[in-house]
Structure 1
Amino acid sequence: MKLNTVGIKDIRYPVRVREKSGGMQETVASISLQVSLPSQYRESCVSTFIKVLNTYQDEMSNRIFRNLLAEVKEELRAESAHVEMTFPYFLEKKAPATGTPGLMEYTCRFTGGIGKDEDFILSVWVPVTTLCPCSREISDCGAHNQRGEVNLTVKYSGFIWMEELIAMAEAGGSCEVYSLLKRPDEKYVTEKAYNNPMFVEDAVRKVAEQAMAHPAITWFSVSVESFESIHKHSAYAYVDSDEIR
């Protein structure tokens, strides 16, 4: 009997990821790696997966994935191979008024496949602040605001940095989120959000416009979830380029 896929799922593994600044960042990834084997093969593929991961752990990037998958596919005589790697990625970010540095954590994911379905996809999850335009309009003072999360997923040609996608996502909210703020910074982000109100629909459109303008992006999806501060539910919006092109 032929199986759809066989492999390993959610193995936690130390990896090094190349930064746009030129450095290498050490992180711990959750990796799933599967292949589609011909029905006549019954050999265990776990040892092959681990061996290949050992080979490439010193630099994981969307450039490297094609080589990793090709090696797995060849060694196991597989029809196709697929990998998904999710990891925390840290960037130093300075507070907007005082310039105080702090580390921001972003969740990133590389997804790739060769064989029957050849695709390479990059995803980021980025926190933002959203402030409700309706609340601001009807209130004598103040407006409800909350943290939201932007998920930007892209297919691309050539190469694209995670930092580019993170910047696109952060620009979609009423204000960016920071890990460390002093009083002048708190004043800045409060006033910036108040002067830049956003429904989740507005945020999705703003990120989508940036993705459409990027020359390397061939397909994208954007979702925004706002964890409402005055409601029990979240607000949510989604769009992908298939619907708007």
Structure 2
Amino acid sequence: MKDIQKTEDQRGIAIQKVGVSEVHLPFLIKTKSGELQSVLAKIRLTVELPQTFKGTHMSRFIEILSEWSQKPVANREMECILHDTLQRLEADKAYLEIRFKYFLQKTAPVSRLRSMLDYDCLFFANMTRGESIDIAMGVSVPFTSLCPCSKEIAAYGAHNQRGLMTVKLKQSAGRFIWIEDLVALMEAQGSCPLFPLLKREDEKYVTERAYDNPKFVEDVLRDLVLALRSIEDIEWFEVECENYESIHNHNAYASHSETVTSRPEA
């Protein structure tokens, strides 16, 4: 059968990324404890398309991803996926993005009851033929913030709200931070972490904890930047913090990105 995709295109336009997106597949993610967590992943896999090629082979992307959907995925596996993509698509550069919900067990602060909280996570990587893989990760963490200004001016009480902080980061080759460790570091920067299951004694604790630890969205972001700078061998990071304001019909927002070229001597 004639393969139209392999015919030559005359328009002289190379396409930077072409492939498949919104691919939903079960994936296995390696956890810090050594176990595997099954997640529903939303995947985008693309390659560069030279200007002389009319199209790419869409079916091959699905074949590759299907083969990997029941294998544990971490840095090494993403490298294999991209290497396989380069070979089978005859491409010079390939890109992979995996988005998924990751669940961690949370223990209520007083009752010690356990429940599961979900976090939006992202792995994204690219590879150029003959070169090493470039990998980054992202995690979004919900948190509670309590307004310092409200606490200062009110005779009693202070307004608080749920917020969302998102970190994307890239570490040096061979370095890796577990999702569990990054979540713990991020949760420590809000006025108080979130818990899915709270009894009355827990609700009292988290309310008072937030009241004793008021933070603007700017405070959360700056504390998060300082915490990320403490992680060894981070090359780049991007931080976003957004408060879903309880007394306004708009959100409070702050962002910051940083390329770490060198660290001060100890």
Q: How big is the shift at 1:150? A: 0.4
- Paired-residue identity, %: 40
Q: Is the 8 A contact 2:162 2:243 kept in 1?
A: yes
Q: Which moved more, 1:32-41 or 1:78-87?
A: 32-41
Distance 2:15 2:257 in 1: 31
- SS across alignment from 1:135: helix
What is residue 83 of structure 1 aligned with on the other side?
A: 96
Distance 2:146 2:18 in 1: 46
Distance 2:80 2:233 in 1: 21
Which residue identity lines up with residue 212 of structure 1 in the other structure? R
What is residue 100 of structure 1 aligned with on the other side?
A: 113
Q: Is the 8 A contact 1:136 1:143 kept in 2?
A: yes
Which residue identity lines up with residue 23 of structure 2 in the other structure? I
Distance 1:121 1:11 in 2: 20
Per-residue displacement from partner, 1:162-204 (whole Å, max 9, x unpaired)?
A: 1121112111100000000001100000000000000011000
Unaligned runs of 5+ in 2: 1-11
Q: Is the 8 A contact 1:156 1:216 kept in 2?
A: yes
What is residue 72 of structure 2 aligned with on the other side?
A: 59
Q: How big is the shift at 1:243? A: 9.1
- SS across alignment from 1:64: helix
Q: How big is the shift at 1:45? A: 2.2
What is residue 156 of structure 2 aligned with on the other side?
A: 141
Which residue identity lines up with residue 131 of structure 1 in the other structure? L
Distance 1:47 1:232 in 2: 46
**Number of aligned residues:** 245
Distance 1:6 1:43 in 2: 9
Q: How big is the shift at 1:120? A: 1.2
Q: Is the 8 A contact 1:91 1:103 kept in 2?
A: yes
> Cα RMSD between the aligned structures?
1.8
What is residue 187 of structure 2 aligned with on the other side?
A: 170
Please state if 1:219 is matched with 2:231.
Answer: no
Which residue identity lines up with residue 207 of structure 2 in the other structure? T
Q: How big is the shift at 1:119? A: 2.7
1:151-190 paired onto structure 2 within 5 Å: 151-157=166-172, 158-190=175-207
Q: Is the 8 A contact 2:103 2:119 kept in 1?
A: yes
Structure showing greater Rg:
2
- SS across alignment from 1:68: helix
What is residue 7 of structure 2 aligned with on the other side?
A: none
Q: Is the 8 A contact 2:136 2:171 kept in 1?
A: yes
Alignment CA distance shift 1:244-1:193 (3 Å): farther
1:11 aligned residue (8, 23, 27): 23
